[in-house]
Structure 1
Amino acid sequence: MCSLVDKYNIPGPRYTSYPTVPYWDINTFSLKNWIGSLKKSFSESNAVEGISLYIHLPFCESMCTFCGCNKRITKQHAVELPYIKSVLKEWYLYLNALGSKPKIQELHLGGGTPTFFSPKHLTYLINGIFLHAEKAENCELSFEGHPNNTTKEHLQALYDVGFRRVSFGVQDYDEKVQKAIHRIQPFENVATVTKVAREIGYTSVGHDILFGLPFQTEEAVKDTILKTKELLPDRLAFYSYAHVPWQKGNGQRGFNDDDLPSASLKRKQYEMGKKMLSEVGYEEIGMDHFALKSDALYQSMKNKKLHRNFMGYTASKTQMMIGLGVSSISDSWYGFAQNVKGIDEYQHLVQEGIIPVYRGHILQEEDRVIRKHILNLMCHFETNWKSETMYFNDLEEVLLRLRPIEDDGLIEITDHKIMVTQKGRPFVRNICMAFDMRLQRKKPETQLFSMTV
């Protein structure tokens, strides 16, 4: 395994989209053609499957130094209501553009720290969203909770407006690691919020765990997973820390590159963790995700309905996702659009009645076909081109790039089909890179992505 790690540990995308953001054609993008792509998608999909909604709530009271998200650090909670009013204003701008009532299949609150906001303000936000929208029959509402500040009142208020899934950011329980990433979070805090969520009635409680953090050892990962087994969350994200300190605005400071585990140690951490999780009943879902068989994410995988977008893996697929709030990314299937990253600029634009998009990409036909292949690989570990609609001109070139990967036993290529082997699952990002024609045609001159291992 170590030799494969050495060979395949290269910078590569996580493929929450294709094309990836650095390869968007921003020069031909405009707000007008973005809205056109949105209307087209809405007319095709709203009545059938509804839409997804992601809301970015960017405020945090302190900086976590492992975090690469867009956030603003403040203890001034007076920022809450003006920001929520701006998000609702942006939502109404989209409603006006769409022209009819959307059916929401999935809604997720991310951050930042969504539980920075008071229960009262979060309730106001969700009620405002659904004031002019229909809730789908099996609508899934979820949010990211910080174990240190998610109160029973938060959990109850969000439950009362329809939330049934919550994910708590755990990262690691080792004190030295927590100090390095500035996330002091005792096990007792996580145990308490997990218990309270279940008592209230949440049907899916998730934990996020990282490996490859500064000063993290195999023993630390083992201890974190043993503690996780005590609480038995319904689903887990167990993924590699993405070290991207060159990206503007992230907080990855306070430790040196030398403090990070080597690639081979990271892979040992992952393999050990995966084995331990399997022994207690967790099933691997896509890349770096695990769920109990009772969880909707596992059922979705078994039914070949697993989907991946800018929110990560989701149990239900919608063709269209609108991102609200600063830096959020929207996806119409035919195009992507990202909001401005500055909070002041964002609030100013929406108050002026302008949808606050600053860059995006309209997908070409080849983009859409390759996107389907990459989605298939990321969600189902296989793809095929039996249908003419899945063929594209450079497919033979892709297959040539995949031959060495096949020789290493990571995939099996048969007539019109590729299957990722168990051995190859840790390297699915590398396999997807062979399909990434925009990356292959223009190799980056500087490092754009985190390492694949």
Structure 2
Amino acid sequence: MNENLIQKYNVAGPRYTSYPTVPYWNTGHFSVEKYKERLVDSFAASNSEEGISLYIHLPFCESLCTFCGCNKRITKRHEVESPYITAVLKEWDLYTSIFSERPLIREIHLGGGTPTFFSPENLKMLIDGLFKKADRAKDHDFSFEGHPNNTKIEHLQVLNELGFTRVSYGVQDYNLEVQLAIHRFQPFKNVKDATDNARKAGYTSVGHDIIFGLPFQTVEHIRTTIAKTKELMPDRIAFYSYAHVPWIKGNGQRGFKDTDLPSADVKREMYETGKQLLAEAGYVEIGMDHFALKSDSLYKAVEEKKLHRNFMGYTTSKTKVMIGLGVSAISDSWTGFAQNEKKIEDYYDRLEANELPLYRGHILTEEDEVIRQHILNLMCRLTTSWEDDKLKFPEIPDVLIKLKEMEADGLVVIKDKGIDITEEGRPYVRNVCMALDLLLQRNQPDTQLFSMTI
């Protein structure tokens, strides 16, 4: 990566798990009733053929990791588990009551927080409760996020018996100084045990998350972390840049000083070093920030051109309906987005009143749908085209003007009716998408809403 290009393109930008991105949702035109209409229509048109996806947010953690930007509630009181699961299942009941048929669940992802904060018995109660009013797709893909320190063999066995075949563990970095700075201490032995136990329990895909750009982190730390990772050879690796946004996430990201973070030049070297070491170990880069062995379903999804991206990140299949259950979870009806209440107390109050706990959202316009498809194409396939008249939009000439400089820098190739991102341009995928983001172009934010792109 060219140092001058890093300095040029390392700007604040969205990660594009959705389009429009959340800061540009038109919340003034959103209503729960309007969203429900869109959801019901999309469900009726797609459920029987492709099914739906569920993201379930389990927000509790026993301790605070200072790098984390997720919605979480820190507590050691495990009596919070049962009431929360009861609330999530009530929310699910409210959704199933508006559908014309039993949902066919293709994907489930348990995120957090720390899903393995919950006991195996309570997680079983949650999943069993979902399927009292739903069916399981034959080619389902169920996954969860596990903490290496508290994911017990019982968690793995119970969830595997319920159909879960993938688990991802947050490793971040194996260096003790870095772990202490981010308040995430976990010895290599714990990660090894959690990985080995998952495989023994029957999981076909085990993932590790590794972050670069953490406080006190060095290039040598990246080498060491990936060397240890190679000893375990997880099927997938998420290798991504730390998103430092304490002005949004508050004190949770103030466990260290800004001066403790590596410089942009060092982060560039971390990325290049990590990418090279992963390639040497047999990992193939997938989309943005993700790597997989050729035996993993994520790689196969790329080969079959089925890779998809949504609020859960990269997935192996696309469903038009994704329902988010739990506090702060986001739902996607394909023509609309909706987010749940962010505070647990407010979430409980809305459910107590027999209301879907939605507090904001966005109804997509025709323009939104066109731009979203282009951004999905770039994020998942590094190419997009407007040969199909349905994907044309009036601002294409303006977009191409913005991309001319990137083409001169070797990051993209502009064709007659499309764009290709080059291998050299892969680290700049977010920047390319920003050139197509019409809402971002029209409404430049007054304050920094996003993390840096590189």
How far apart, CA to CA, are the structure 1 residues paired with 2:215 and 2:270?
Answer: 13
Whichever residue aligns with residue 228 of structure 2, its letter is K
Q: Which moved more, 1:307-316 or 1:92-101?
A: 92-101
How far apart, CA to CA, are the structure 2 residues paired with 1:43 and 1:99?
Answer: 7
Contact 1:284 1:291 in 2 (8 A): yes
CA shift, 1:98, in A, is 1.7
Partner of residue 330, structure 2: 329
Q: Determine whether 1:256 maps to 2:257.
A: yes
CA shift, 1:277, in A, is 0.5
Partner of residue 46, structure 2: 45
Whichever residue aligns with residue 263 of structure 1, its letter is A
Partner of residue 346, structure 1: 347
Whichever residue aligns with residue 360 of structure 1, its letter is G
CA shift, 1:319, in A, is 1.1
Partner of residue 215, structure 1: 216
How far apart, CA to CA, are the structure 2 residues paired with 1:20 and 1:354?
Answer: 25
Partner of residue 268, structure 1: 269
CA shift, 1:309, in A, is 0.3
Contact 1:119 1:153 in 2 (8 A): yes
Counterpart of 1:247 in 2: which secondary structure? helix
Partner of residue 63, structure 2: 62
Partner of residue 357, structure 2: 356
CA shift, 1:251, in A, is 1.2
Q: Determine whether 1:195 maps to 2:196.
A: yes
Counterpart of 2:253 in 1: which secondary structure? coil
Q: In the TM superposition, what are the counterparts of 1:82-161 in structure 2 within 5 Å? A: 82-161=83-162
Shift of the 92–199 alpha-carbon distance from structure 1 to 2, 3 Å rule, reads same
Q: Determine whether 1:389 maps to 2:390.
A: yes
CA shift, 1:82, in A, is 0.2
Q: Deviations 1:253-306 (Å, cap 9, x if unpaired)?
A: 110111111112111101110110001110000000000000000000111100
Q: In the TM superposition, what are the counterparts of 1:13-28 in structure 2 within 5 Å? A: 13-28=14-29
How far apart, CA to CA, are the structure 1 residues paired with 2:146 and 2:160?
Answer: 13
Partner of residue 278, structure 2: 277
Counterpart of 1:353 in 2: which secondary structure? coil
How far apart, CA to CA, are the structure 1 residues paired with 2:40 and 2:74?
Answer: 36
Partner of residue 433, structure 2: 432
Contact 1:38 1:332 in 2 (8 A): yes
How far apart, CA to CA, are the structure 2 residues paired with 1:216 and 1:56?
Answer: 30
CA shift, 1:364, in A, is 0.2
How far apart, CA to CA, are the structure 1 residues paired with 2:250 and 2:197?
Answer: 34
The sequence identity of aligned pairs, in percent, is 63
Give the gaps of 5 or more residues in structure 1.
Answer: none
CA shift, 1:250, in A, is 6.2
Q: In the TM superposition, what are the counterparts of 1:173-252 in structure 2 within 5 Å? A: 173-248=174-249, 251-252=252-253
CA shift, 1:97, in A, is 1.4
How far apart, CA to CA, are the structure 1 residues paired with 2:180 and 2:249?
Answer: 23
Q: Deviations 1:151-204 (Å, cap 9, x if unpaired)?
A: 011111111111110000000000010000000010000000100110111000
Whichever residue aligns with residue 282 of structure 1, its letter is Y
Contact 2:215 2:260 in 1 (8 A): yes
Partner of residue 287, structure 1: 288
How far apart, CA to CA, are the structure 2 residues paired with 1:281 and 1:392?
Answer: 40
CA shift, 1:421, in A, is 0.3
Contact 2:69 2:249 in 1 (8 A): no
How far apart, CA to CA, are the structure 2 residues paired with 1:423 and 1:111?
Answer: 34
Partner of residue 35, structure 1: 36
Moved over 6 A (4+): none
Whichever residue aligns with residue 56 of structure 1, its letter is H
Aligned residues: 453
Partner of residue 6, structure 2: 5
